[in-house]
Amino acid sequence: MALTEKQPPHRVVIVGGGFGGLYAAKALGNAPVRVTLIDKRNFHLFQPLLYQVATGSLSPADIASPLRGILSHHKNTQVLMQEAVDIDPQQQKVIFPHGEVEYDTLVVATGVSHHYFGNDCWQPMAPGLKTVEDALEVRRRILMAFEAAEKEIDPQRRRAWLTFAIVGGGPTGVEMAGAIAELAFNTLKQDFRHIDTTETQILLLEGLDRVLSSYPPELSTEAASSLTKLGVTVRTNTLVTNIEDHAIEVRQGSQVERIASRTIIWAAGVKASAMGEILAKRTGVKLDRVGRAIVAPDLSIPDYPNIFVIGDLAHCADPHGSPLPGIAPVAIQEGQYLAKLIKQRLQGNSLPPFKYKDVGSLAVIGQNAAVVNLGTLKLAGPIAWFIWVFAHIYYLIEFDNKLIVLMQWGWNYFTRKQGARLITGEDSQIQTEISDRQSTKDRSTVEV
Amino acid sequence: MALTEKQPPHRVVIVGGGFGGLYAAKALGNAPVRVTLIDKRNFHLFQPLLYQVATGSLSPADIASPLRGILSHHKNTQVLMQEAVDIDPQQQKVIFPHGEVEYDTLVVATGVSHHYFGNDCWQPMAPGLKTVEDALEVRRRILMAFEAAEKEIDPQRRRAWLTFAIVGGGPTGVEMAGAIAELAFNTLKQDFRHIDTTETQILLLEGLDRVLSSYPPELSTEAASSLTKLGVTVRTNTLVTNIEDHAIEVRQGSQVERIASRTIIWAAGVKASAMGEILAKRTGVKLDRVGRAIVAPDLSIPDYPNIFVIGDLAHCADPHGSPLPGIAPVAIQEGQYLAKLIKQRLQGNSLPPFKYKDVGSLAVIGQNAAVVNLGTLKLAGPIAWFIWVFAHIYYLIEFDNKLIVLMQWGWNYFTRKQGARLITGEDSQIQTEISDRQSTKDRSTVEV
């Protein structure tokens, strides 16, 4: 025993501090291993609530927590703020722009980013929602659109400013559409003097025949009807064929239509982060259609039993052969399974394959409206909304700020105010926007 | 009476949504006038707490509130998100890049910005603290310095990363120094594995012979001793002679010294915003040494009884002839006086000159440490700190978020955690910083 204990501890390197990576690191906190968690950001982001940052209900710090703080009491764990740019599976190293780190076991959990289906040129006109910066940019665009509309005297141009198009009817698109509706029809209702924000048009564009297509059809129907009640125009079977600076072109059947809109938000496709390609090149692991690494039942990759992929970057098949969805509960369970597996292996044992325990899925539509799919139990309406709230509070328990978020929500709920609707960014940028976005004859001249 | 009522209402245009402008607008909410509040930002910023955003205790939205939201129930008031670039006192107009607005009474309250005493080239190396963006930039630098130190293996370079120099020993400098000390010596103590954050050096550099020189000398002594106890090195009679990328040069008497420091924060001089010069050019109003407009006892400017300057941009003499300090209570009282004056004038009356009712001055040094000057009553220590907390909560009452801020403070107080210590900004910028700021041989190679 004495000899074994003097061996240098097993080194686990985790790339990515999202749900998968963070929960793996947490579960290894009491294990006889040295853990290195690598992330290019210094915080873990609670992505399911990012849309609330984008619509001014929450601040970034409400849904982000410094990785060092979360892991500070795990003395076997270090956090490195680094960008992993390559791996060397033969030498067992992760490579940074300057420097490297050796591993005995490698966990890759770098997630996914946006996918514009081959139209990357659409990105500047239709930003997505993956990072804090994305969310602040979307917030800025939404709020600036109302400011610009307030100044605009041409009715057509004003209508374009008050038209918001959301591409993609998955959970993010549904949540964004609902939140913008609440902003326009409740929060901002009293704030302007020249526009009526209740004239805002919110389009939710979905290519398939229903929103929330990964949910049971009856919940899709419920979601669409709740959205309609909130004032959102839900358009299914509608494909985006082009995005320009001030307009979006859609096709429904054989009908092509050009809709003038100054604020377009991308909530459609995701693709694997760059680490997927790197893994494929270095280890030969197969990638699926969107670039996710196809992992073995124990989440390792073929021929490299000490390299694991978890979270959104992993293509892990469920019992029916389809990949598990890219949601937080899957990533969390994978991270926890993996920590257990590493601990068992160190003791010479093994574990049965990973099995996802379905905790259901949730999407929120607006205040008091959500859909919940718990398998046998399908719910919509206020009760679903409360389940949604408590599920999120439960997972936020990892965060220092859970009480603050709860308070903030309570406050927003009862006052229908949203305090975080600040337009921030570079001064120059804001000023350019203001000049750029207003018509030559300023509204203020006319009516004051 | 009927005739009078049919006259178009008196148009009051207020430029600037800081304390002066906002409180003037609020006090005019029930007056028979049309109010237009112009600001280039869409929010009012509670600047006295900006240093807490810069040190990761609060989020921008905790101390900023949308102007439209604050004024939404004043139906006689409109908010314009615009940048005033000129005024025309003959035509009674405020000019924007595109457009203009007419006034009967004009209130200029555009405040002050940084002043580098003729060394504007120092700005990139030593950012100040006036806007939300300033605060987030300073936060990013402070947190990145610890990240870089963690990776640095050269002891001298590591020391430079762990040396923070604050230029200026006024309230902002004192508050920043105290807050960085708490960050380094408490909040972050457990977070790193290769550096000991308690080795951090925090220098507060003041040109005069004491910090808080506008306070009574005994409070300066108290403040300096509290800072020293917190771990701050207070250097008085110390002039900054040069600021370079990685160092600051200071002179004390005839002794010149170069101190290696990677994080330098400017809390020294202020100068009037550009509107001061514009006013001088267009109306002939005299400016003082730092560019503030010298106003008449009723806050108007000579020859233009319908143009007023209030807040930090105004040089308003106290009974002894020295200008009132640039602090929130002065601006608030000026705004309220002005609203009263406008209302009285509309009824054909006048008001006695503006008289500042001294509510005392406060500066916070750290948890449980502050100094309070209430004229006859001078306090330091925990009681002063509680007075500081409650004074700020009192003024934050205008904000939706007072409860949230109180909760956040309570949380931070008892846990000594600071949840908002996120490094945000452009991804590329962050990555450049990381590569740029680390030594060629990465620490992680050595010790993992």
pLDDT in tens, B243-255: 999 999 999 999 9
B90 lies in some domain: yes
Residue of B nearest to A421 (CA): B66
Q: Same structural domain for residues A263 and A390?
A: yes
A212 lies in some domain: yes
Whether B98 and A440 lie within 8 Å, measured CB to CB = yes
Which residue from B69, B97, B192 is facing A417, i.e. has the nearest CB?
Answer: B69
pLDDT in the model for residue A392 = 79
How confident is residue A413, by pLDDT bands cut at 50, 70 and 90? low
What is the pLDDT averaged over residues B331-347? 96
A59 lies in some domain: no
Which residue from B427, B440, B442 is facing A133, i.e. has the nearest CB?
Answer: B427
Q: Are A188 and A61 in contact (CB under 8 A)?
A: no
Which residue from A101, A190, A442 is facing B444, i.e. has the nearest CB?
Answer: A101
Chain A nearest-CA distance from B68, in A, is 5
| Model pLDDT for residues A234-247, shown as the tens digit of each residue | 999 999 999 999 99
Which residues in chain B have Cβ-Cβ distances shorter than 8 Å to A11? 448
State the CATH number of the domain containing residue A19: 3.50.50.60
In this predicted structure, the answer to whether residue A280 has a pLDDT above a threshold of 80 is: yes
Which residue from A188, A192, A442 is facing B99, i.e. has the nearest CB?
Answer: A442
Which residues in chain B have Cβ-Cβ distances shorter than 8 Å to A74? none
B446 lies in some domain: no
In this predicted structure, the answer to whether residue B236 has a pLDDT above a threshold of 50 is: yes
How confident is residue B441, by pLDDT bands cut at 50, 70 and 90? very low
State the CATH number of the domain containing residue B373: 3.50.50.100
Q: Are B211 and B227 in contact (CB under 8 A)?
A: yes
Which residue from B65, B417, B445 is facing A100, i.e. has the nearest CB?
Answer: B445
For testing contact with chain A, the best of B98, B139, B154, B409 (most A CBs within 10 A)? B98
Which residues in chain B have Cβ-Cβ distances shorter than 8 Å to A42? 143, 147, 421-423
Whether B83 and A440 lie within 8 Å, measured CB to CB = no
Q: Same structural domain for residues B230 and B263?
A: yes
- Closest by Cα among A13, A33, A175 to A110: A13
| Model pLDDT for residues A302-347, shown as the tens digit of each residue | 999 999 999 999 999 988 889 999 999 999 999 999 999 999 999 9
Query: What's the domain range around A330?
Result: 8-40+82-111+273-346
Residue of B nearest to A145 (CA): B81
Q: Same structural domain for residues B100 and B227?
A: no
Q: Same structural domain for residues A180 and A193?
A: yes
Which residues in chain B have Cβ-Cβ distances shorter than 8 Å to A401? 411, 419
Q: Same structural domain for residues B387 and B260?
A: yes
Q: Same structural domain for residues B126 and B263?
A: yes
Which stretches of A226-288 are assigned E, i.e. beta strand?
232-235, 238-243, 247-252, 255-260, 263-266, 269-272
Return phi, psi of residue B187, to 5°.
-55, -45
Whether B133 and A424 lie within 8 Å, measured CB to CB = yes
In this predicted structure, the answer to whether residue B177 has a pLDDT above a threshold of 90 is: yes
Whether B421 and A96 lie within 8 Å, measured CB to CB = no
Q: Which of B175, B182, B222, B334 is catalytic?
A: B175
A64 lies in some domain: no
Identify the weakest region by mean pLDDT among A293-297, A299-303, B436-440. B436-440
pLDDT in the model for residue B77 = 96
Per residue, the 3-state secondary structure of A334-345, as one string, reads HHHHHHHHHHHH
CA of residue B54 relative to chain centroid, distance: 11
What is the total residue count of chain B? Answer: 448
A89 lies in some domain: yes
Residue of A nearest to B71 (CA): A191
Q: Which of A152, A175, A206, A222 is catalytic?
A: A175
Please name the amino acid found at residue A276: G
- Closest by Cα among A214, A207, A210 to A225: A210
Q: Same structural domain for residues A264 and A133?
A: yes
What is the total residue count of chain A? Answer: 448
What is the pLDDT averaged over residues A271-281? 95
Chain A nearest-CA distance from B101, in A, is 5
Tokens of A432: 């350019």
Identify the weakest region by mean pLDDT among A2-16, A57-71, B354-368, B391-405. B391-405
The whole-chain average pLDDT of chain A stands at 88
Chain B nearest-CA distance from A376, in A, is 39
Q: Same structural domain for residues A154 and A98?
A: no
pLDDT in the model for residue B6 = 60
Which residues in chain A have Cβ-Cβ distances shorter than 8 Å to B100? 442, 444-445
Tokens of A139: 């917030």
Which residues in chain B have Cβ-Cβ distances shorter than 8 Å to A184? none
Q: Are B269 and B275 in contact (CB under 8 A)?
A: no
What is the pLDDT averaged over residues A349-372? 88
Which residues in chain A have Cβ-Cβ distances shorter than 8 Å to B82? 434, 442, 444
Whether B40 and A434 lie within 8 Å, measured CB to CB = yes
In this predicted structure, the answer to whether residue A430 has a pLDDT above a threshold of 50 is: no
Which residue from A73, A98, A143 is facing B442, i.e. has the nearest CB?
Answer: A98
Instruction: Report how far residue A371's alpha carbon sits from residue A364's, in angstroms, rounded to the nearest whole number.
Output: 6
In this predicted structure, the answer to whether residue B439 has a pLDDT above a threshold of 70 is: no
Q: Same structural domain for residues A106 and A162?
A: no
Q: Are A66 and B427 in contact (CB under 8 A)?
A: no
pLDDT in the model for residue B397 = 55
The whole-chain average pLDDT of chain B stands at 88
Q: Same structural domain for residues B154 and B266?
A: yes
pLDDT in the model for residue A412 = 65
Please name the amino acid found at residue A233: T
- Looking only at the bridges linking them, the beta strands covering B201-205 and A100-102 are unpaired
Chain B nearest-CA distance from A357, in A, is 32
B218 lies in some domain: yes
For testing contact with chain A, the best of B41, B65, B68, B436 (most A CBs within 10 A)? B68
Whether B68 and A426 lie within 8 Å, measured CB to CB = no
Which residues in chain A have Cβ-Cβ distances shorter than 8 Å to B417? 69, 400
pLDDT in the model for residue A431 = 40
Q: Same structural domain for residues A249 and A262?
A: yes
Instruction: Report how far residue B69's alpha carbon sits from residue A192's, in angstroms, rounded to the nearest whole number.
Output: 9
How confident is residue A418, by pLDDT bands cut at 50, 70 and 90? low
Chain A nearest-CA distance from B80, in A, is 8
Q: Same structural domain for residues A248 and A175?
A: yes
| Model pLDDT for residues B75-113, shown as the tens digit of each residue | 999 999 999 999 999 999 999 998 999 999 999 999 999
pLDDT in the model for residue A141 = 96
Instruction: Report how far residue A229's alpha carbon sits from residue A226's, in angstroms, rounded to the nearest whole number.
Output: 5
A34 lies in some domain: yes
DSSP letter (8 states) at residue A184? I
| Model pLDDT for residues B405-422, shown as the tens digit of each residue | 666 666 666 665 666 777
Helices B427-437 and B132-151: crossing angle in degrees, nearest 10, is 40
Which residues in chain A have Cβ-Cβ distances shorter than 8 Å to B114? none
What is the pLDDT averaged over residues A391-407? 66
What is the pLDDT averaged over residues A103-130? 94
What is the pLDDT averaged over residues B380-396? 80
How confident is residue B432, by pLDDT bands cut at 50, 70 and 90? very low
Please give the residue that has the higher pLDDT: either B261 or A386: B261
pLDDT in the model for residue A399 = 58
Identify the weakest region by mean pLDDT among A115-119, B414-418, B441-445. B441-445
Whether A444 and B100 lie within 8 Å, measured CB to CB = yes
In this predicted structure, the answer to whether residue A178 has a pLDDT above a threshold of 50 is: yes
- Tell me what ipTM this predicted complex has: 0.85
pLDDT in the model for residue A2 = 45
Whether B147 and A40 lie within 8 Å, measured CB to CB = no
Query: Total domain count for chain B?
Result: 2
What 3-state DSSP class applies to A365? Answer: strand
| Model pLDDT for residues A12-51, shown as the tens digit of each residue | 999 999 999 999 999 999 999 999 999 999 999 989 889 9
Chain A nearest-CA distance from B85, in A, is 12
Whether A80 and B438 lie within 8 Å, measured CB to CB = no
Please give the residue that has the higher pLDDT: either B318 or B258: B258
How confident is residue A423, by pLDDT bands cut at 50, 70 and 90? confident
Residue of B nearest to A441 (CA): B99
pLDDT in the model for residue A403 = 64
Which residue from B69, B425, B445 is facing A191, i.e. has the nearest CB?
Answer: B69
Question: What letters, b where the CB count within 10 A reaches 16 and e where it falls short, cover A381-411?
Answer: eeebbebbbebbeebbebbbbbebbebbbeb
Q: Tell me what percent of the residues of chain B surpass a pLDDT of 90.
A: 69
For testing contact with chain A, the best of B38, B52, B81 (most A CBs within 10 A)? B81
Please name the amino acid found at residue A318: D
Size of interface A-B (CB pairs under 8 A): 214
Whether B133 and A102 lie within 8 Å, measured CB to CB = no
Which residue from B61, B147, B445 is facing A42, i.e. has the nearest CB?
Answer: B147
Reply yes or no on whether A175 is catalytic: yes
In this predicted structure, the answer to whether residue A370 has a pLDDT above a threshold of 80 is: yes
- Closest by Cα among B76, B168, B160, B80 to B122: B168
Identify the weakest region by mean pLDDT among B158-162, B206-210, B267-271, B345-349. B267-271
How many alpha carbons lie under 13 Å from residue A335 in its C-beta half-sphere?
31
